[in-house]
Structure 1
Amino acid sequence: MHTETGHPQTVPGEKSGTSSGQTSGGTTLIATAPGQIRVIKRNSTVVPYDDGKISVALTKAFLAVEGGTAAASSRVHELVDELVKQISATFNRRMPSGGTIHIEEIQDQVELALMRAGEHKVARDYVLYREERARLRAERDKPGQQVGQADTHPSIRVKLSDNRLVPLDMERLRTVVREACEGLKHVNSETILSEALKNLYEGVSENDINTALVITARTLVEQEPNYTYATASLLLDKLRAEALRFLGIAERATQHEMERLYSSTLPTYIQKGIELELLDPALATFDLETLGQALKGERDHQFTYLGLQTLYDRYFLHSDDIRFELPQIFFMRVAMGLSIHEENRDERAVEFYNLLSSFDYMSSTPTLFNAGTLRPQLSSCYLTTVPDDLHGIYGAIRDNAMLSKWAGGLGNDWTPVRSLGSYIKGTNGKSQGVVPFLKVANDTAVAVNQGGKRKGAVCAYLETWHLDIEEFLELRKNTGDDRRRTHDMNTANWVPDLFMKRVFEDSEWTLFSPADCPDLHDLFGSAFEERYAHYENMVATGALTLYKKIRALDLWRKMLGMLFETGHPWITFKDSCNLRSPQQHAGVVHSSNLCTEITLNTKAGDEVAVCNLGSVNLAQHIAENGELDRAKLASTVKIAVRMLDNVIDINYYAVESARQSNVRHRPIGLGMMGFQDALYKAGIAYASDEAVAFADCTMEAISFEAISASSDLAVERGKYQTYEGSLWSKGILPLDSIQILSEQRGSQFIEQDTRSTLDWHGLREKVKAQGMRNSNVMAIAPTATIANITGVSQSIEPTYQNLYVKSNLSGEFTVVNPYLVHDLKDRGLWDQVMVNDLKYYEGSVQKIDRVPDDLKAIYRTAFEVEPRWIVDAASRRQKWIDQAQSLNLYIAGADGKKLDLTYRMAWFRGLKTTYYLRALAATTTEKSTVNSGALNAVSASGDNAVVTAAALAQQAPVAATVPQACSLDDPDCEACQ
């Protein structure tokens, strides 16, 4: 049977235009230019001829016959364009001076054009469709007739777990679907129900009934984004049954029933979790009746399908693979775990629960995994320095294994390890360098995954003066000796300012072994430059013989080339991390972490840095008028900082030196996610001065409130142990530390905005008077997974594509930009053709003529945003952040010149770190059939080895592949959040 969505219901002029008068016969006329062709519609209105509507009608015809894959192909696009030209040319020849034609004449020409083109199946279907529409119109015009009433479905029996067959409970089925669609615009419960019923059969299982509902709803997501919420609610019906049966509470419950059951379910859940030795027995000492009453079952409706499925697959507690947590109980478990040491812990648990369950703020993944359990490893990142001795090296690798077991992301500083060819006094031999040990660290990360929930994840850092740096750059290559490759480990360059100056000056650079100049590792700024020059003088005099001289620009190009070819090593900047660190008096920042946002002190054998992460959902703090809700943000940040500070004392430490370090300095990393969503709500294009200013003002507000909250906690709980001597104690806030960087680097090598709008003088005085509870307060992490849970864009990323499929450990999920869809709907532009155009153009609206220019500007995708906008916005944020930010760089049409300019700009604008480089690849999105909803994820194509460092060194344009990474579709990098 033909459907309205599968065929051209309308053709040119089908919608009425602006009325300017009416003939005596009732035909509405509109003003048209001389010589213009006009169309008489079936309702007698007259509108201008529009060949764009013919294009839409033809595309719908191909969709109905050939499906989405064929209709989105280049053949069909080109054919439709040609047919439209032929049809328009016919009428222009007939009426060169303009005139009026009937809608039926246009449809006649569409039929003829299809026949002449040899598209007989499409033409036949189009003719049958016209006849069916004519019949329906005739039926509709008969008095007392109702057309299109749904047929009654034959009875079906359902097979229960005990093999009994019982009649399908249609009333409950309708209730579940109706509840899933409540309050959702443009979502039709009858559509889901009727389509799902077609897939049921005699003897169907209860699980298969739910699966049919879920699959039906999820196929509609690309038509209307709100179906993702309906899909999640339908999935939740299955999850409720699984949990309630396991807990012995009920066989199943509808959403409305569950909202009443939540309060009584919490005590049973806590008791069961303790019996199974999964939950801390201390949770039973809370006032469970009060906490149960605080649960808000209606918040289950907030989940997208991806968000709920992710929670179910990876976060909910389970026994024998049966999940017995439900969303609101999950959030309360986390809240209880974080408030377990609070004096008024019941009140705090409710406060923390409300913040989490509202999606205003979300704790990091390790906290969500483990809060309230017997092993509450809640911290996100661990940073270590590897010493230059065999015992210390394998001790560091052992620490990696223990930390990874409990879901920690790792950053290792390998710079102290002597280079290839260095003398080994104990054996009177020569070292094999750092690379063989990196291979062991790589294999350890693979062998010891994160609690069986995520792959182990580690990043190795090496300073740019290390003699093994050139081999380090090639660790991720797919060619060469595999014993000297690390295919699973991330790598990053730790780049001193002096190297960047040599690049700008096109001068020489010298590589050393750390065994000969160990103090370089702990020096930064002008002190590093002076000592580095000293060692170069030793080379000149012959006092130092193990070295290599290289043109700095050549090494820089090789760094960029390897980054382009393999996705590694990332580029991070040693001096900006150290000179702006509040903890300069307490030690040196030797590396960042797995995701390049943490910049904390480490020391071999003594100081394992720990960071505890969580993120404000910025989109939740934008008011209806598009402005930042400062009052709400202040409240969110205050509670979030308290939750993060609690992590430090509750945390389970697999390594004692990590506990000592964390308790001594108490660093936390409050970040943000949903930045792109916030821009959409504010009506601001990412690639604009307004977006840069928005990044500035929002981060300023978060920074102000976070520092203030930590200072207030210091009054309540005491300052952190190493506060005295810190930049905080001197009244030097992150904004002020830019001056330190400028003075040490040289003002000609930095350009960073230092303007402010809030009362920073007052805050400085407050901090000096009260102190700080935490040595470090802010860091923007990737938020890959927790952004999925809350249904917003991750971190500070621009939109990847407006329509694509995200793949992770929970499966594949159609992602469509809801803001774009709703804006297009408001303008009457969202239809099946638009969906297929988005697929054809791989999620981009830039080449779709029907999309207005103002929407094209707002909905540019990541590769359509010039990297300078990403860097400039990051620079504005960085001035407020005491740590760093995970910053992916998207570069379309990347070549050596573009990469060189972008990364020089990142350093020049004062950034501390960068993360993945995403160069636009020779990839395609497979065009799916719309009805199935199968849209394959972007995947890299071609041979990586073709894209060579040599090509970039010559600054030649080359084709790239997209490195697989957490922020697109690979879960490997979700270790931080």
Structure 2
Amino acid sequence: MSLSIEAERPAAAPSAAEPTLSKLAASEPGYQIIRRNGAVTPFDPSKITVALTKAFLAVEGSNAAASRRIHEAVAEMTEQVVAGLTRRAATGRTFHIEDVQDQVELALMRGEHHKVARAYVLYREERARERARAVAETKPVASAAPLLHMKLADGTLIPLDAGRLDKVVREACADLDGVSAEPVLTEARRNLYDGISLDELALAPILAARTLIESEPNYAKVSARLLLDKLRREALSFVHGRAEQATQEEMSVLYADYFHAYLKTGIANELIDPELGRFDIARIAAALKPERDLQFDYLGFQTLYDRYFLHVRGNRFELPQAFFMRVAMGLAIREIDREGRAIEFYDLLSSFDFMASTPTLFNSGTLRPQLSSCFLTTVADDLDGIFKAVKDNALLAKYSGGLGNDWTPVRGLGAHIKGTNGESQGVVPFLKVANDTAIAVNQGGKRKGAVCAYLETWHVDIEEFLDLRKNTGDDRRRTHDMNTANWIPDLFMQRVEAGGDWTLFSPDEVPDLHDLYGKPFKTAYEAYEAKAAAGQIKVFKRVKALDLWRRMLTMLFETGHPWITFKDACNLRSPQQHAGVVHSSNLCTEITLNTSADEVAVCNLGSVNLAAHVTPDGLDQARLARTVTTAMRMLDNVVDINFYTIPEARRSNLRHRPVGLGLMGFQDALQTLRLPAASEGAVAFADTSMEVISFHAIQASVDLAAERGRYPSFEGSLWSKGILPIDSLDILSDARDGDVELDRSSTLDWEGLRERVVTTGMRNSNTMAIAPTATISNIVGVSQSIEPSYSQLYVKANMSGDFTVVNAGLVHDLKARGLWDEVMVSDLKYYDGKVSGIDRVPADLKALYATSFEIPTEWLIRAAARRQKWIDQGQSLNLYMAQPSGRKLDEAYRLAWRLGLKTTYYLRALSATHVEKSTLKGTDGKLNAVSATVPVAAKAAAPIIVDIPLENGMAVPNACSIDDPTCEACQ
């Protein structure tokens, strides 16, 4: 039989696929195929159709009944193959014939045409043997490699420098265990052709190295170093105004000269603040450490390359150490010894011990240094206030700020409007406007706008609020892009546990509830209930608290929203109770700051890389203390340097000076310490590690207060009364009449620090918050935030593409026990990236490398509660459930409340998708070998009684996709 992809198209009637194929070919002109003999010919999608059709006919015959089905299947798979090739083309527009055949094979396997796929594979193998025999029979005396040329930007052809390609690949593999330059060079050379462009030449070894990552994680570093070589050519050529390239070895000498030219280029193009040019540049350049360019993994470096490095019309001119120094200089711009501080900040960032948040990395050292991550606003109950809030959202989001809006003051559906003598449509129509504004602004074109709306549980519109993310109903009352969160008072949870009633009100008739919490809220709320019963309140509704709670969990199950957050825990433990009320959290639920009509809360974030501060012997407290001290200074500087787009944000930030120091790499730290996440040891480490961070963060703020002065609203705060975060647990416990399960153990000298806080004061009203770190943890190459791993082998999809990710720690442990081989790679794919189902993996490794969906949710909540006692703000806590049910959700969220957590974040649940059972070899960057948890809309469910009804025993909640590349909530 003949299945060759290279076969000529026979003269026949047009197939059903032809209109689509011609459209694809017309829309993607210029793609080329490298034949096995090195010849380059135009890419013709119709030949894919021919090959697929022949494969089917060879196996299934050509009877009329099968003909239509075959043509439909072939048309669909051809589109998949063409889309897969062109979408992954990156900067190149050329494919090797083997790449095309790989994609055809994958399309057949994905379509579950197993017999056809098997025949196709066998045919390819037979043809390969025939070619090998033909080569052997000719036995040429000498076979000189064909002379290849590369095409410069002006079209000039020059001989391809094979020697440099060899040197760059070998340099990229140097000093890395388990890697070799030969397989990279072999695969790269296979994709070379005469007339190859410089970009394609640079791309060839990168793609070659990427195919090897699944078998050896260190090839991720090789791929990053090869991409670095491509960036060096771009950057050096642009800043010097001439074609130039350099190896890593050469850059150890050239980096300082490059940095001078880089600054001049950035300033001339109005991308860098001219003030940076007035630093002692010689001193700054001498402090650069070129060797730190080599520590990136491919995912992190590609992310920086695509989204962070400065560029002019797509021409990147910022190398990694220049990037970190630009950020550091921007943060040190108002220091007295600004060169010394810039070098100190640079050392911390470039070492990966600490990483600033994305807005800081984007904008520090630029003309508009909007460095803050989060903004919290309260929306007023009138048209001017509502549309001012929408405008503020747009201005704040423009420079990459994430938003949390408190919508509780806006009157509910049916409430009286005095000015028009009409009735209000409620809060929902305005939420639709806010939703569409966030998408339109699009964070200055860098990433999707992101906003979260909060509503208190007593608001009369709460039931409609719960439905905002549904895919059914009136689309004018839906917000498909906005995140939503319930802002729940303790009284509601107490009514749920008691099986009591709950009354919904319009805020214009109960205006003080918005600013009350704890026992004063209970008193006022019960008084309003009495008024409603007496007919003195017009708009209200009485429901069963348990029914409303069940509906909250049902919507969380079905749509992933609204999130569950707790008003009283946020306020009763807030250091700033004297200065106002916490009315909501932020986009990712870790910020708990006061808002009001004239203050928009602002928080400035950065995260400690906990994995860098842990050895097998334990936590390196001295190193962690140094990191935290410098990081707190950097974050405090943000307050004064920051570019504020609205005056309310500036007023709030300068008055309270809050910062949010967080952490990432917690899972990596546990694995270094050999502590399974589902263990008492992991819970204890969460406690002790956060205690050390908390102690030194507070101490650093005291030191800054001694140097620079207290924050203006310090007097009257809990700090001024000697009440630290660990002490505020008593306030929460008293408000709940002791009905709270809280651990109060400690190990450090808190009494001495408490005395310093009272006598010296604090520089910052708030010091800690644990953000999701989804992007900066990729840059650093560690696990996100406090998250457990959800797979040990997967393909991560984000705005920069698809990336094979393998847990290097697991590979190291399996190698040490002689278990890492191709069979293990295959088994990991078969078991969806989990080791639990692989018999030959020892029990201790199964426990240590259990994935997030294998860890009982209770362990994650307990660890979070032990952290929460040390934190003056909150933490982004995702909950994972492999098989969620109403009962499990109820137990988990009630436990979170009883343990004193302030907020929770996404509910993440497994979908029906799983690891591709096919190989990744030779296809990385061309397929998602491991599917992330993809949100799938479940069937509409009735209010839960005990468990959420399941459709045919299976339902998948529309929870957040773990790696949805369009989701920027946690980037």
For the aligned pair, the TM-score class normalised by the smaller chain equals 0.7 to 0.9
- Is residue 739 of structure 1 aligned with residue 730 of structure 2? yes
Of the candidates 743, 765, 768, which is equivalent to residue 775 of structure 1? Answer: 765
SS at match of 2:618: coil
Matched, 1:820 2:810: yes
* 8 Å Cα contact 1:589-1:601 kept in structure 2: yes
Rg: which structure is higher? 1
> Aligned to 1:431, what secondary structure does the other structure show?
strand
d(CA) in 1 for partners of 2:441 and 2:935?
Answer: 31
Q: State yes or no: 1:181 paired with 2:173.
A: yes
**2:463 matched residue in structure 1:** 470
Aligned partner of 2:340 among 326, 337, 347: 347
Q: State which of 769, 779, 783 in structure 2 corresponds to 1:789.
A: 779
Of 877, 882, 886 in structure 2, the residue corresponding to residue 896 of structure 1 is: 886
Structure 2 letter corresponding to 1:598? I
The change in CA–CA distance for 1:167 and 1:803 in structure 2 (over 3 A counts) is same
Per-residue CA deviations over 1:266-315 (Å, capped at 9, x if unaligned) read 11111111111111110111011111111111101111111111111111
Separation in 2, partners of 1:673, 1:608: 27
Contact 1:920 1:960 in 2 (8 A): no
Distance, in Å, in 2 between the alignment partners of 1:946 and 1:939 is 21
Q: 1:265 aligns with which of 234, 258, 267?
A: 258
Q: Are 2:907 and 2:960, in contact at CA under 8 Å, matched by a contact in 1?
A: no
2:420 to 423, 427, 435: 427
Deviation, structure 1 residue 651: 0.2
Q: CA separation in 2, counterparts of 1:695 and 1:240?
A: 41
Cα shift readout 1:184-206 (whole Å, capped 9, x = no counterpart): 10001111011211111111112
Pair 1:289 & 2:262 matched: no
Q: Distance in 2 between matches of 1:949 and 1:459?
A: 26
Letter in 1 for 2:647: E
Indicate which of 853, 858, 867 corresponds to 2:857: 867
Distance change in 2, residues 1:805/1:167 (3 Å): same
Query: Structure 2 vs 1, CA of residues 125 and 440 (structure 1 numbering), >3 Å: closer, same or farther?
Result: closer
Is 1:969 matched with 2:969?
Answer: no
Correspondence for 1:441 among 403, 414, 434: 434
The amino acid of 1:863's aligned partner reads F
Change (3 A) 1:540 1:757: same
SS at match of 2:729: helix
How far apart, CA to CA, are the structure 1 residues paired with 2:350 and 2:545? 51
Q: 2-side partners of 1:973 and 1:800: how far apart? A: 19
Letter of the 2:968 partner, please give it.
C
The answer for the alignment partner of 1:372 in structure 2 is 365
- 1:580-599 superposed matches below 5 A: 580-599=573-592
- Selected match of 1:193 from 185, 190, 214: 185
Q: Does 1:524 align with 2:524?
A: no
2:652 corresponds, among 633, 636, 661, to 661
Change in 2 beyond 3 A, CA 1:962/1:807: farther
Alpha-carbon separation, structure 2, partners of 1:901 and 1:524? 24
Partner of 2:788 in structure 1?
798
* 2:414 counterpart SS class: strand
CA drift of 1:543 comes to 1.5
CA distance in 2, matches of 1:185, 1:477: 50
- 5 Å-filtered alignment, 1:607-646, equals 607-623=599-615, 625-646=616-637
Q: Which amino acid aligns with 2:293?
A: D
Provide the C-alpha distance between the structure 1 equivalents of 2:946 and 2:395, rounded to a whole number of angstroms: 41
Counterpart contact for 1:966–1:974, Cα < 8 Å: no
Paired letter, 2:699: S
Of residues 350, 356, 360, the one that matches 1:357 is 350
Structure 1 residue 652 corresponds to structure 2 residue 648: no
Distance in structure 1 (CA, Å) of the matches to 2:609 and 2:638: 20
1:396-411 equivalent positions in 2, closer than 5 A: 396-411=389-404
Match among 223, 226, 243 for residue 235 of structure 2: 243
The separation in 2 between residues aligned to 1:883 and 1:157, in whole angstroms, is 60
Q: For residue 461 of structure 1, give the secondary structure of its aligned residue in structure 2.
A: strand
2:918 pairs with 1:921 = no
Q: Does 1:682 align with 2:669?
A: no
Partners of 2:120 and 2:198 in 1: CA distance = 44
TM-superposed CA distance for 1:124, in Å, is 13
Counterparts of 2:120 and 2:937, CA distance in 1: 44
1:312 aligns with 2:302: no
After TM superposition, give the deviation of residue 925 of structure 1 in Å: 2.8
TM-score of the aligned structures, taking structure 1 as reference length: 0.84
Give the conservation status (yes or no) of the 8 Å contact 1:558–1:953.
Answer: no
Residue 686 of structure 1 deviates from its aligned partner by: 0.8
Measured after TM superposition, the shift of residue 938 of structure 1 is 2.2
- Which residue is equivalent to 1:850? 840
Q: Can you list the C-alpha shifts for 1:408-429, whole angstroms capped at 9, x where unaligned?
A: 1000000000000001111111
Rounded to whole Å, the distance in 2 between the matches of 1:74 and 1:844 is: 23
Cα pair distance change 1:408/1:726, threshold 3 Å: same
Q: In 2, Cα distance between the equivalents of 1:248 and 1:689?
A: 57
Any idea what the Cα deviations from partners look like across 1:29-81, whole Å, max 9, x if unmatched?
A: xxxxxxxxxxxxxxxxxxxxxxxxxxxxxxxxxxx9998899999999xx9xx
Q: In 2, distance between residues paired with 1:554 and 1:152?
A: 80
Quote the residue 2:941 is aligned against.
Answer: 948
1:140 corresponding residue in structure 2: none
Seen in structure 2, the aligned counterparts of structure 1 residues 964 and 297 have a Cα distance that, compared at 3 Å, is farther
Match of 2:208 in 1: 216
Aligned to 1:504: 497
Q: How does 1:477-496 map to 2 (within 5 A)?
A: 477-496=470-489
**1:571-608 Cα distance to aligned partner (Å, 9 max, x none):** 0000000000000000000000000000000002x010
Letter in 2 for 1:894: P
- After TM superposition, the structure 1 = structure 2 runs for residues 504-583 of structure 1, keeping only pairs within 5 Å, are 504-583=497-576
* Unpaired runs of at least 5, structure 2: 1-101, 133-141
Instruction: Give, in angstroms, the shift of residue 406 of structure 1.
Output: 1.2
CA 1:65–1:548 in 2, change beyond 3 Å: closer, same or farther? closer
Following TM superposition, by how much is the alpha carbon of 1:545 offset from its aligned partner in structure 2, in angstroms? Answer: 3.0
Q: Quickly say closer, same or farther: Cα 1:504–1:487, change in 2 above 3 A.
A: same
Q: CA RMSD in A?
A: 2.5
Q: Distance in 2 between matches of 1:771 and 1:908?
A: 32
Amino acid at match of 1:399: D
After superposition, residues 693-712 of structure 1 pair within 5 angstroms as: 693-712=684-703
Cα deviations across residues 812-869 of structure 1 (Å, max 9, x unaligned)? 1111111111111111111112112111111111111111111110111110011000
CA 1:962–1:361: 2 relative to 1, 3 Å: farther
Shifted more, 895-904 versus 155-164: the winner is 155-164
Once residues 279 and 854 of structure 2 are traced to their aligned partners in structure 1, the CA distance between those partners, rounded to angstroms, is: 52
1: distance between equivalents of 2:931 and 2:785? Answer: 20
Deviations 1:110-133 (A, max 9, x none): xxxxxxxx999889989x99xx9x
| Structure 2: distance between partners of 1:896 and 1:952 | 8
Measure, in 1, the Cα distance between the counterparts of 2:892 and 2:511.
32
Which range is displaced more, 200-209 or 160-169?
A: 160-169
Secondary structure at the counterpart of residue 459 of structure 1: strand
Q: How does 1:41-56 map to 2 (within 5 A)?
A: none
Is this contact kept in 1: 2:191–2:204, CA < 8 A? yes
Structure 1 residue 956, shift from structure 2 partner: 3.6
> Does structure 2 conserve the Cα–Cα contact (< 8 Å) formed by 1:361 and 1:615?
yes
Task: Say which SS state the counterpart of residue 950 (structure 1) adopts.
Answer: coil
Give, in whole Å, the separation in 2 of the partners of 1:347 and 1:600.
Answer: 33
Q: Secondary structure at the match of 1:719?
A: coil
CA gap 1:922/1:283 in 2 versus in 1, 3 angstroms: same
Secondary structure, aligned partner of 2:553: helix
Which string of whole-angstrom CA distances, capped at 9 and with x for unpartnered residues, describes residues 619-676 of structure 1? Answer: 01012x3411000000000000000000000000000010010000000000000101
Count the aligned residue pairs: 852
Task: For residue 265 of structure 1, report the CA deviation from its aligned partner.
Answer: 1.1
SS in 2 for 1:961: coil
